Structure 1
Amino acid sequence: MRMRRHHYQQEEDTGIDLTPMLDVVFIMLIFFIVTSSFISESGVEVQRPKADTASTQDKGNIFIAVTADGQVWIDKKAVDVRSVRAHVERMRADQPDGAVVVQADRDARTGLVVQVMDQARQAGVRDVALAASTGEG
C-alpha cells in the first residue's frame, strides 16, 4: 500500500512588512532630536521697550526676565535677585558658550535690571544683552 503524501500549500503571508519603515522613522526621529536646538525661556512675558537700533542676537541661551512689579524669572521660576548668579552658573555648566539675555519690562526699575546684569557678569558671563523690540510697528 502506497501512502500518498498530501502537501498542503501554505498560504503565503501577504501582509506588508513594516520593519524597514519603522527603522527609517526611528532614525529620522533621532536625527531631529539631535539636530534641534532647545530654546530656554524665562517663563514670563514682559513688555519690552522699543529701540530703533535693536538687532537680532544669534546666541542667547540663558534668558532672565524682570517684570514691572520687580520679579525676576529664570527657567520658568521666580527667583530672588541675589540667587541670579547661582542660577546662571548652574545653567552655564550645561552651555558654556551661551550668552545671557535680560528681558526687562519697559516699566521695570532700572536699578533691579542693573543688579540682574551685574549678577550675570559675576557668574562669568561676558556677553550680557538687554532685549528690546524693534522700533517698527
Structure 2
Amino acid sequence: MARRGSRVQKDEEDAELNMTPMLDVVFILLIFFIVTAVFVKEPGVDVIRPEINNLDRQRPTILVAVTSTDEIWINRDVYEITQVRGVLEQLLSENPRAEAMIQGDEGAPIGTVLDVQEMLLQLGVEVTISGVE
C-alpha cells in the first residue's frame, strides 16, 4: 500500500500581527501622562534673591518675580500692580489648588512684594517668598 502525503497540511502564509491594541494602549498612556503632568511656570526674569535659611524644597505652580526696577513678572510677561490680581485670578481658575512663590530681587521695593503677597493671600493661595539658600 502506497502512502499518500501527510494528512497535516502546512500553512505557508505569514502570520500577521495586529498592532491596533498596542497602539490603543500607547495612546491611552500618552493621554494619561499629558493630563497628569504638572508644568512649572517661569516668571520670565532672573532676580538676585537675598539669602535665607529655607530647608524645604518647594514646587510652586505660580511664580511671581519682582525686580529691583519695580517690575512684576508672571509667566514671562511684565504687569503693573493693578493688573496682577486679574492675572492671578486667571491662573487660579486654571489650577484652583495652586501654590505661589514670590521671587523678590535684593533691591526690589518691599512694598510691592508685600502687595503681591497680600493679593495672593486674599485669593486663598499659599505663598512663600524665595531666597538664595
Same fold (TM > 0.5):
yes
Q: Which moved more, 1:42-51 or 1:79-88?
A: 42-51
C-alpha contact (below 8 Å) 1:100/1:125 kept by paired residues = no
- Output the amino acid matched with 2:116: V
How far does residue 16 in structure 1 lie from its aligned partner after superposition? Answer: 4.7
Tell me how large the CA RMSD over aligned residues is: 2.4
Q: What SS does the aligned partner of 1:112 have?
A: helix
Change (3 A) 1:14 1:63: same
Residue segments in structure 1 that go unaligned for 5+ positions in a row:
1-10
How many pairs does the alignment contain? 123
Q: Distance in 1 between matches of 2:116 and 2:33?
A: 35
Counterpart of 2:41 in structure 1 is 40
Matches within 5 A, 1:15-26: 16-26=17-27
* TM-score for both structures, normalised by structure 2: 0.75
Determine if contact 1:82/1:119 at 8 Å carries over to the other structure.
no
How far is the alpha carbon of 1:53 from its aligned partner?
Answer: 3.4
The answer on 1:92 being equivalent to 2:92 is yes
| Equivalent AA in structure 2 for residue 89 of structure 1 | E
What stretches of structure 1 move > 6 A for 4+ residues in a row? none
Residues 2-33 of structure 1: per-residue CA shift (max 9 Å, x gap):
xxxxxxxxx84566543233222212211211
CA separation in 2, counterparts of 1:41 and 1:125? Answer: 21
Query: Identity of paired residues, percent?
Result: 37
Q: CA deviation at 1:104?
A: 1.0
**1:73 and 2:73 aligned:** yes
Partner of 2:7: none
Show the counterpart of 1:129: 128
